Amino acid sequence: MTSEDTSQSNAILFIDSKDAFEHDGVDHYQLRNAISARRGNRILCQLAEAELPVSFYTFDNTNNQLTIDVTGSNDSESWTASISVTIPSKNYNVVQLVAQLNSLITSSYFTFIATFDTQTLKLTFTLSSSLAGTSFTKFEIGDATCLSQIGFVKGQSGTNLITATNAINLHRTLNVFVRTNMKVDNLDSRGEQSGIIAKVQIDQDAGGIVHYRNIENVKFQLSDTFIDHLVVNLTADDGTALNFNGLNYHLSFAFYFRRERVDPNALTLSDKVDEIEMANEEEEDDESFEDEPKYVDSLVPFAVGS
């Protein structure tokens, strides 16, 4: 055994989401038998394996709102139309999404047409009208939660035509980020600690199951030494929680124990006390030296500066 070895046995925690109780949109697991490090030991953890159903939708209640603002006039009147629609929660391919948008966005003042360019992978929204003398003065993308999917940017505008700034993205997410309440030092792309202990790539189509194995055997040392309550939040690339639509996921967390490393150069409590006492003594010596008269030489009978 090396100096880091410990006699404390490793442990695996098998998580089945059907055993969770949900609160504030995340899953909680209360452990009757806690994961606890013995005195002098530290806990290392890894997500050893996972089974995740690809049952989340391209559009759901977190990203399915779209608003367009249009103003114009015809021979009869000037008008303003602000149209907000909700894209039904489900999976879409490009053809299905274009058809859905064309059926949702309707107005008595104009006809809305969405089209897709297979060469640029971008959507275009076009307005037309059969009403005599119709002209458009404003056509703008308003508040929306689906912009990262459909490629438009809030405030993007035109007269009667707008082409998306970005390519369409009908992948709900490329990864599932496994976030927990265990204290790890991992950082996200903003350099913030957000509880991420693993990133699982989605390499299956909708309806499939992702099987993850920690083939790199990466472990992380926890600040925790006692765990009896585990919080799990599975999020998409955009940080929103994924809805698996009633299907269960499975996670296996492996816990390892090792003796706490001690820095041989670190000061002991006794060393720190000695250091403080020495500093105090030096300060007292400096003060007493300042109080003594200062002479140029032995022939000068009075203090310099007196």
DSSP the chain: --TT--SSPPEEEEEEGGG-EEETTEEEEEEEEEEEPPTTEEEEEEEEEEEEE----SB-TTS-EEEEEEEEE-SS-EEEEEEEEE--SB---HHHHHHHHHHH---SS-EEEEEEETTTTEEEEEEE--STT-EEEEEEEEEES-HHHH---TT-EESSEEE-SS-----S-SEEEEEESS------TTS----EEEEEE--S-TT-EEEEE-TT---EE-S-SEEEEEEEEEE-TTSPBP--TT---EEEEEEEEEEPP--TTSPPHHHHHHHHHHHHHHHHHHHHHHHS---SSTT--S-TT-
**Residue 302 confidence class, pLDDT cut points 50, 70, 90:** very low
> Strand order in 196-201's β-sheet?
21-23, 26-36, 226-235, 175-180, 196-201
**Residue 306 confidence class, pLDDT cut points 50, 70, 90:** very low
Question: Residue range 133-150: average pLDDT?
Answer: 94
Residues 193-209 have pLDDT tens digits of 889 999 999 999 999 99
> Do residues 84 and 145 touch, judged by C-beta distance below 8 A?
no
Residues 26-37 have pLDDT tens digits of 999 999 999 999
Residues 58-92 have pLDDT tens digits of 999 999 999 999 999 999 999 999 999 999 999 99
Residues 6-23 have pLDDT tens digits of 778 999 999 999 999 999
Question: Residue range 116-141: average pLDDT?
Answer: 95
Domains and their CATH numbers in the chain? 11-55+174-259 (2.60.120.550), 65-163 (no CATH)
Phi, psi of 147 (to 5 degrees): -65, -40
* pTM, full prediction: 0.79
Report the pLDDT value the prediction gives residue 12, as an integer from 0 to 100. Answer: 96
Closest to 9 (Cα-Cα) out of 260, 218, 257, 259: 257
Report the pLDDT value the prediction gives residue 263, as an integer from 0 to 100. Answer: 62
